[in-house]
Amino acid sequence: MSFIAKLAKIIEDSRIEYQSLQSGSFFVSEKVRDGANLLAHGDNALFMKYLMEKQQLSGKINLVYIDPPFFSKANYGTEVKLSSEKIKKIPAIKQKAYHDLWEDGMEEYLRMLTVRFFLIKDLLAEEGCLWVHLDWHSVHYVKVILDEIFGEKNFINEIIWTYKSGGVSKNYFARKHDNLLFYAKSPKYYFQAQQEKSYNRDFKPYRFKGVKEYKDETGWYTMVNMKDVWQINMVGRTSAERTGYATQKPEQLIERILESCTKEGDLCADFFGGSGTLAAAADKMKRRWISCDIGKLAVANAHKRLVQGSRNGYLLLVDEKSRNGQGVLQVEAKTEPSDISDKLELTVEVKSYKPDSLAEVPVDEKYIPIVRNIIKNDSLQLVDYWSIDFDYDGIEYIPDLFFCKNGPAIPFTCRRTAAEFHKIGIMVIDVFGNRSFTVIDLEGEL
């Protein structure tokens, strides 16, 4: 069968899969600040069903941006660099973030995406839109599928995002752009045109009647409606927004999309959220957001980024598989009368941590002895984030304090003064994205 004939079958098979999908179960792992937004760990198809059935969000999302795997046939990883006073020199550990390999090739890949396009369409508001971020590997097939699902007339733009980074080849022109397909849910879609500089020929003034001209260090220019080719740098090695997550996209790119297609207060979602770039940009721009990723490392990266940087709060949701955590914590908590008041002073110290098993550590066999050595001699080096709820009610974990490793050191002791203490909850996320939670009941002690 030719691939063109197969496309029709891919769409029909995906429609059947979409129609028979059941909602996944998602549980609140942490409530950060007001818990108004959602960061989810799990498969996005099950999560989208959950949003429709449990959160009644059908027809409510104003913008969906997705940056799925590109059918690049590659594995993506990150490097963990740890240092310890107790271990001489720890070699960098390469860990797996996600893979973009498809046993049944392009058909399997397109089926995966097509099922999700149906779900996204259900979630979008009438004025809403979908942005699909791809590159040359699959964009031309995906365009045909999206024309079928969203309607050719609702195709609005193909944005070419061009950048300088990445490799080159002697055999073809350097591939220096990604393709972003922009579809509206309906002709009522919201759009706010943006303006950009257009430099005059020879950078000299034209002095046309009625045309406003400006000058900067490059030369004279006018302001025109933004074109569909965008030159934006990739996230550089030293950039403040760099999380270290493979394939992280620049916030500037997402800001432009949000500026054009949403208003303050609108709800935006990214169902292949990675390190949480859409969430971070949406939060800064006062949009509400939802971000989901299937990878624990992605969600850990996004959580660390958002817990520190986001103005608004969110619920960290986890699927059934990750509900019980994947590590073991040893924590010591002591209360004593405070020196300065008639209250109690609580001191909490995280003493040690280890993943449940080495199966939870997504690294190649050759790195396992290094990880074992760290667990044995300085296990706290594996902790990337920890948080504490001084008044855990046994139901909702709402951290009062959180600590993120941004450099080599992170404190493992904290104190709090209060008239009484009941239960405290402590959450740890390790450098591999494993979560562990423990509760200490202080009532017996008082």
Q: Which residues bind ligand SAM (CB under 6 A)?
A: 43-44, 67-69, 98, 245, 247-249, 272, 274-275, 277, 292-295, 298
246 vs 344, which CB is nearer to ligand SAM? 246
What is the distance between the alpha carbons of residues 438 and 394, in angstroms, rounded to a whole number? Answer: 11
* Coil vs helix vs strand at 201: helix
Q: Are 352 and 379 in contact (CB under 8 A)?
A: yes
User: Residue 437 CB: number of other CB atoms within 10 A?
Assistant: 18
232 vs 333, which CB is nearer to ligand SAM? 232
What are the residue ranges of helices labelled H in 310-389?
A: 368-378
- From the CB of 170, what's the least distance to ligand SAM, in Å? 27
> Closest residue (Cβ) to ligand SAM?
274
299 vs 350, which CB is nearer to ligand SAM? 299
- CA within 13 Å, CB half, 133: 22
Token pair for 400: 């009062």
Find, among 298, 296, 289, the residue nearest to 318 by Cα.
296
User: Residue 360 CB: number of other CB atoms within 10 A?
Assistant: 16
> What is the side-by-side strand order in the sheet with 220-225?
195-199, 220-225, 214-215
- From the CB of 269, what's the least distance to ligand SAM, in Å? 12
- From the CB of 181, what's the least distance to ligand SAM, in Å? 15
- CA within 13 Å, CB half, 251: 17
User: Residue 225 CB: number of other CB atoms within 10 A?
Assistant: 9
- From the CB of 418, what's the least distance to ligand SAM, in Å? 39
Find the angle CA(5)-CA(11)-CA(13) to the nearest 5 degrees. 100
- From the CB of 78, what's the least distance to ligand SAM, in Å? 11
The DSSP letter of residue 363 is B
- From the CB of 430, what's the least distance to ligand SAM, in Å? 18
75 vs 195, which CB is nearer to ligand SAM? 75
What is the distance between the alpha carbons of residues 301 and 321, in angstroms, rounded to a whole number? Answer: 19
Find, among 446, 312, 408, 433, the residue nearest to 87 by Cα.
408
- CA within 13 Å, CB half, 221: 13
- From the CB of 72, what's the least distance to ligand SAM, in Å? 9
200 vs 260, which CB is nearer to ligand SAM? 260
76 vs 421, which CB is nearer to ligand SAM? 76
67 vs 430, which CB is nearer to ligand SAM? 67
- From the CB of 277, what's the least distance to ligand SAM, in Å? 3
| Strand bridging mode 423-430 / 435-441 | antiparallel
98 vs 390, which CB is nearer to ligand SAM? 98
266 vs 293, which CB is nearer to ligand SAM? 293
127 vs 293, which CB is nearer to ligand SAM? 293
98 vs 161, which CB is nearer to ligand SAM? 98
| Strand bridging mode 423-430 / 383-389 | antiparallel
Where are any strands of DSSP class E within 200-326?
A: 214-215, 220-225, 229-231, 267-270, 288-293, 314-319
Q: Are 185 and 120 in contact (CB under 8 A)?
A: no
- From the CB of 271, what's the least distance to ligand SAM, in Å? 6
The sign of the CA dihedral 113, 115, 116, 122 is positive
- From the CB of 361, what's the least distance to ligand SAM, in Å? 17
Name the one residue in this structure whose structure tokens are 């365009």. Answer: 143
- From the CB of 71, what's the least distance to ligand SAM, in Å? 11
